[in-house]
Amino acid sequence: MAYVITDACIKDFLCVAECSTAAIARMESDAAAGTVSQVYINPDECIDCGNCAAICEQNAIFSADELPADKAHFAEKNKAYFL
Ligand code: SF4
């Protein structure tokens, strides 16, 4: 079960620094080009430690099994970014 970033993300990259497995994509260049609206977690790299969710000041990150109902589609969106 991976963690998932939702659309509350403001791309401050605090979570990127917290992740020991580099599961969170660094999207600075894409963001500068206006091609992404948030960062994403690769579910194949995430070890479910929860450090990213703890540091997120926007409350944008949830364990996949604790996603609010209106954010459930972000699990697939995070996964799809890395396909
Ligand atoms: S839960 Fe841990 S391993 Fe997974 S993305 Fe967050 S910081 Fe990285």
Domain chopping of the chain, boundaries: 3-81
pLDDT in tens, the chain (83 residues): 799 999 999 988 899 999 999 999 865 556 565 667 788 999 999 999 999 999 999 999 999 999 999 999 999 999 998 88
CATH topology for the 3-81 domain: Alpha-Beta Plaits (3.30.70)
Q: Tell me, what amino acid is at 70? A: D
Q: How far is the CA of 50 from the centre of ligand 1 (A)?
A: 6
* Spatial separation of the C-alpha atoms in residues 80 and 51, rounded to whole Å: 22
pLDDT at residue 31 in the model: 54
pLDDT at residue 70 in the model: 97
pLDDT at residue 36 in the model: 73
Q: How far is the CA of 20 from the centre of ligand 1 (A)?
A: 7
3-state secondary structure of 43: coil
* Spatial separation of the C-alpha atoms in residues 36 and 63, rounded to whole Å: 22
pTM for the predicted model, two decimal places:
0.89
Summarize the chain as % helix, strand, coil (round to 5). Answer: 35, 10, 55
